[in-house]
């Protein structure tokens, strides 16, 4: 063997006897001794968790960010100044941010453990010629494993024997219906979803029995390969974290440069080293936006709470903002865009076509002919066809605590639901025609047949269902609309089948034949010919109705939706057409589909183009899903990936934001995702995108609001040094301004309601910086207005004979008043606050009132005067202070108006 547990060639391309020879096994299984030896050689059948960072290293890495460094420096400086309370507050911000990041990351690293938990199942094996039950972790290559309905496949198997075997591989491949298995040797390049002679670890047996030989265990299974993809997939930084990182680095350099410049200028002018050091400290403290990390965290946390109310649970805080940046949503089909419930939509019986309403396994719905409900007695051919669907059927349709569900094959379940919609009782029909014998479905024959008793003295009847190709050639006539036999038009039926298939419907044919009353046993020879064709039933896993307007809303918001599925290309194209992916419903153009086989042939440049221009990808493997996400990211897209299966997990982890389904999603998908939809509703993604855009808007509003203060404070200190004046504001007063206004004024912008046009805007360009030239201009204008107002009134007060303490108190109030008026400008970056409603943000009004009260205490309360070196000022001094605030509001209002024009 080339590597442990894996034959030298693709196992599906080898004969069963060759596999047995290579793995040195036999139909009687391994001996106990040999199994123990191989267990020691190959290791347990479990996934190896990757080596992880220790908890301490993860915690320390949260501090390794420029903004955190700025805050730590700020805390150290304030502590050195003896301001222990302020130093403690700033340090507290660092601790809170660090703990939140650490806890979120700890949750994010649970995907591999979830995969490992899926492997802990039991297995029935043949060892020493005897059947025994062992833990699945003890399986080794060469073991002979027995499977039956309800089993979870414990390892990757090459099938040796099977009878009527069907396996649900939707979590691994995305195939929406159970896959029929066989024994035939396949070409080496057969895609994963089409390897019918294989059973893969973690998939579920829905029907039949089988015997297979273990060809791969643990990390070497297809599930293990996906586990390695997850563990080696790079988790990208979000647009917000990348931009904040760049912004923080720039801010750090600017602050250090300004502080150094201030120090050197003062020394050159002959000032003392100590005074210049204190001036530089004041400038640095003023320029550091202490409230920014807290604002980012709290704004994101508010977004998380809002999303939770709209059925979206956020696992990583920055994912809130990432949704607002999304340019492409890559969605799985089965269970995400569709309901994962097969539904009969069209029936052909007696030459007449009927439509079936309703979706999924819910009993609501009816059968229509030309948009009018049908009465079964008036359509005997339809009644016979629906009866055949009930009787030639091994599944059960039951009502569970969470709605109706199917026990058995989803295709058979769809037939039971359709019969109920037509007015037939499933249980009554089965009691009326009891089953005597059956031929189970066999992939070699492509049909199932059941023998029924019609009552004493009446002929026995056999009902058959299967592929059109297997049943139609066996038929000699058909059932007419009135219930009597009629001529069979092969050409017309084949045309109808092709028409259904082009619309993505899975088509089943039905037939019957009668035998004498004494018949008790049924065999294939009985149904080789002479059948009466009953009709067709066409079914599909239907789209979620709410997903269609959600896709349209995404398109209006400039977000493209792409389907990436492991399902059949025809089915994928039909669903895409119904849902209007890339506008297909509006133009009624044929949806272009690219298969995984075609993707595998593409060079990286061609793949990037295909990812950009193609809306639907079918028969795609987990690695190809990952490649498509990466190709879109290379094209500068912000990619959201939705999914619910094991096969989606690597792409979920690689995407800028992974979105898992909460109800139908596997634990693996949930653990790999950034966001989980509690209602499995694609429409919730649109709501989450809207909330994400609102969060980014509010963060941008806070940044636009806070930076002019820091700029103004830094310029005031610089101006004082350049002119040789005393400092208009002290470091401790700067901290008072920054911390109180950030909490009571700036953070109130996090509660700002979303603006009405938020989902009519195109997505933000990922390459665009946080602050546009327009906003930088506004920040500069407000910063210089604060400089002019505070420095000017400081000098004016001194000229009028005021003390330095009084002048500084006036300068501090200028900053607070200017920020307060500017806050109302920042409620919208483009509109007037009057168009939003002056009182629509109650939190902001409350914050303003508390800030005014605190500023009066700062000015007039003796204990505050002693703490912050402030002093009471005359009532007349408030006039010029308010005038500065009004000027700031008016100038920004005019600037907004000019920008609009």
Catalogue the active-site residues.
Answer: 332
Q: How far, in Å, CA of 761 to CA of 754, rounded?
A: 13
Q: How far, in Å, CA of 504 to CA of 884, rounded?
A: 68
User: Strand, helix or coil at 246?
Assistant: helix
Strand partners, 593: 616
| Six-digit token string for 808 | 């500084």
| Cα distances (angstroms) measured from residue 500 to each of 493, 505, 571, 618 | 11, 5, 11, 19
CB atoms within 10 A of CB 84: 10
Residue in 753, 755, 326 with CA at minimum distance from that of residue 555 = 326
Work out whether the CA dihedral 215, 218, 223, 228 comes out positive or negative: negative
Q: How far, in Å, CA of 784 to CA of 766, rounded?
A: 30
Residue in 408, 340, 395, 342 with CA at minimum distance from that of residue 166 = 408
Which residue, chain included where needed, has tokens 């979830």? 114
| Stretch (H or E) spanning 512 | strand 506-515
Strand partners, 297: none
Pure H helices in 826-877: 833-836, 842-860, 862-868
The answer for residues whose C-beta is within 8 angstroms of residue 709's C-beta and 6 or more apart is 737, 738, 741, 783, 786, 815, 819
CB atoms within 10 A of CB 435: 16
Residue in 617, 761, 785, 636 with CA at minimum distance from that of residue 712 = 785
Residue in 71, 539, 541 with CA at minimum distance from that of residue 333 = 541
The torsion region of residue 668 among left (phi > 0), alpha (psi -120 to 50) and beta comes to: alpha
Q: Residue by residue, what is the 3-state secondary structure of 188-238?
A: CCCCHHHCCCEECCCCEEEEEEEEEEEEECHHHCHHHHHHHHHHHCCCCCC
Residue in 898, 617, 604, 623 with CA at minimum distance from that of residue 777 = 898
What are φ and ψ of residue 684, in 5° steps? Answer: -65, -25
DSSP 556-603: HTT-EEEEE-SS-HHHHHHHHHHHTGGGHHHHTPPPPEEEHHHHHT--
Q: How far, in Å, CA of 164 to CA of 162, rounded?
A: 7
Cβ(816)–Cβ(882) under 8 Å? no
| Cα distances (angstroms) measured from residue 305 to each of 298, 312, 322, 751, 840 | 11, 9, 16, 11, 19
Residue in 12, 171, 167, 175 with CA at minimum distance from that of residue 569 = 175
Q: How far, in Å, CA of 125 to CA of 28, rounded?
A: 10
User: Strand, helix or coil at 484?
Assistant: coil
Cβ(845)–Cβ(723) under 8 Å? no
Q: How far, in Å, CA of 11 to CA of 214, rounded?
A: 10
Residue in 511, 547, 517, 544 with CA at minimum distance from that of residue 529 = 511
Chain centroid to CA 402: how far? 23
The answer for residues whose C-beta is within 8 angstroms of residue 588's C-beta and 6 or more apart is none
What are φ and ψ of residue 560, in 5° steps? Answer: -90, 140
């Amino acid at each position: 063997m080339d590597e442990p547990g894996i034959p030298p060639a693709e196992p599906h391309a080898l004969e069963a006897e060759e596999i047995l020879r290579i793995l040195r096994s036999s139909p009687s299984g391994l001996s106990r001794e040999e199994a123990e030896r191989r267990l020691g050689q190959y290791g347990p059948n479990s996934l190896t968790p990757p080596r992880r960072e220790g908890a301490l290293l993860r915690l320390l890495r949260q501090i390794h960010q420029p903004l955190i460094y700025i805050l730590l420096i700020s805390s150290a400086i304030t502590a050195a100044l003896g301001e222990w309370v302020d130093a403690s507050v700033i340090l507290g911000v660092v601790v809170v941010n660090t703990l939140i990041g650490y806890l979120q990351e700890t949750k994010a690293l649970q995907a591999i453990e979830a995969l490992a938990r899926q492997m802990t199942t039991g297995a029935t094996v043949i060892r020493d010629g005897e059947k025994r039950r062992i833990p699945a972790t003890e399986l080794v290559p060469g073991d002979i494993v027995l499977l039956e309905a309800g089993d979870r496949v414990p390892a990757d198997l090459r099938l040796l024997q099977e009878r009527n075997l069907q396996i649900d591989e939707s979590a691994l491949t995305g195939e929406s219906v159970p896959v029929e298995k066989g024994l035939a040797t396949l070409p080496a390049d057969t895609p994963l979803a089409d390897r019918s002679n294989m059973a893969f670890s973690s998939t579920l047996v829905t029907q039949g029995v089988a015997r297979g030989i273990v060809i791969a265990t643990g990390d070497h299974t297809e599930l293990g390969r996906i586990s390695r993809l997850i563990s080696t997939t790079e988790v990208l930084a979000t647009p917000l974290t990348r931009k904040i990182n760049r912004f923080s680095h720039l801010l750090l350099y600017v602050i250090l440069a300004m502080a150094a410049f201030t120090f050197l200028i003062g020394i050159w002018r002959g000032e003392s080293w100590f005074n210049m050091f204190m001036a530089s400290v004041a400038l640095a403290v003023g320029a550091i936006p202490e409230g920014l990390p807290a604002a980012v965290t709290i704004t994101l946390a508010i977004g998380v709470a809002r999303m939770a109310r709209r059925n979206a649970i956020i696992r990583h805080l920055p994912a809130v903002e990432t949704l607002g940046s999304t340019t492409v949503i890559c969605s799985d089909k089965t269970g995400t865009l569709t309901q994962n419930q097969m539904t009969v939509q069209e029936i052909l019986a007696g030459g007449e076509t009927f439509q079936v309403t309703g979706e999924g396994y819910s009993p609501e719905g009816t059968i229509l002919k030309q948009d009018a409900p049908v009465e079964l007695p008036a359509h005997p051919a339809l009644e016979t066809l629906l009866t055949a669907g009930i009787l030639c059927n091994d599944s059960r349709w039951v009502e569970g605590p969470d709605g109706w569900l199917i026990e058995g094959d989803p295709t058979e379940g769809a037939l039971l639901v359709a019969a109920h919609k037509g007015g037939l009782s499933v249980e009554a029909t089965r009691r009326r025609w009891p089953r005597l014998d059956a031929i189970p479905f066999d992939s070699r024959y492509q049909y199932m047949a059941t023998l029924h008793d019609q009552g004493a003295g009446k002929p026995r009847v056999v009902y058959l269902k299967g592929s059109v190709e297997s049943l139609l050639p066996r038929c000699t006539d058909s059932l007419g609309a009135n219930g009597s036999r009629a001529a069979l038009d092969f050409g017309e039926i084949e045309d109808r089948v092709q028409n259904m298939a082009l619309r993505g419907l899975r088509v089943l044919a039905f037939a019957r034949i009668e035998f004498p009353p004494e018949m008790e046993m049924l065999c294939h020879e009985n149904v080789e010919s002479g059948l009466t064709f009953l009709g067709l039933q066409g079914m599909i896993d239907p789209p979620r109705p709410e997903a269609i307007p959600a896709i349209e809303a995404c398109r209006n918001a400039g977000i493209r939706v792409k389907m990436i599925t492991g399902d059949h290309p025809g089915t994928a194209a039909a669903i895409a057409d119904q849902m209007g992916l890339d506008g297909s419903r509006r133009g009624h153009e044929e949806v272009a589909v690219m298969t995984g086989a075609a993707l595998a042939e593409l060079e990286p440049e061609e793949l990037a183009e295909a990812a950009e221009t193609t809306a639907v990808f079918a028969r795609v493997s987990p690695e190809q899903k990952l490649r498509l996400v990466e190709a879109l990211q290379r094209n500068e897209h912000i990619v959201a990936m939705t999914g619910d299966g094991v096969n989606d997990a690597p792409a979920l982890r690689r995407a800028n934001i992974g979105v898992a389904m909460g109800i139908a999603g596997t634990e693996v998908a949930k653990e790999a995702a950034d966001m989980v939809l509690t209602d499995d509703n694609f429409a919730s993604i649109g709501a989450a995108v809207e909330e994400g855009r609102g969060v980014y808007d509010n963060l941008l509003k806070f940044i636009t609001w806070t930076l002019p203060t820091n700029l103004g404070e830094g310029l005031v200190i610089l101006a004082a040094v350049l002119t040789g004046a005393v400092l208009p504001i002290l470091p401790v007063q700067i901290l008072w301004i920054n911390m109180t206004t950030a909490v009571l004024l700036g953070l109130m912008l996090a509660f700002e309601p979303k603006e009405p046009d938020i989902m009519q805007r195109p997505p933000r360009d990922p390459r665009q910086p946080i602050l546009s030239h327009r906003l930088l201009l506004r920040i500069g204008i407000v910063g210089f207005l604060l400089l002019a107002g505070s420095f000017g009134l400081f000098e004016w007060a001194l000229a009028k004979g005021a003390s330095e303490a009084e002048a500084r108190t006036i300068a501090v109030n200028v900053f607070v008043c200017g920020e307060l008026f500017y806050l109302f400008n920042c409620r919208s970056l483009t509109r007037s606050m009057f168009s939003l409603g002056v009182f629509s943000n109650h939190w902001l009004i409350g914050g303003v009132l508390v800030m005014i009260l605190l500023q009066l205490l700062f000015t007039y309360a003796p204990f505050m005067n002693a703490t912050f070196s402030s002093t009471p000022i005359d009532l007349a001094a408030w006039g010029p202070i308010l005038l500065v605030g009004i000027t700031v509001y008016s100038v920004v209002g005019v600037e907004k108006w000019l920008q609009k024009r």
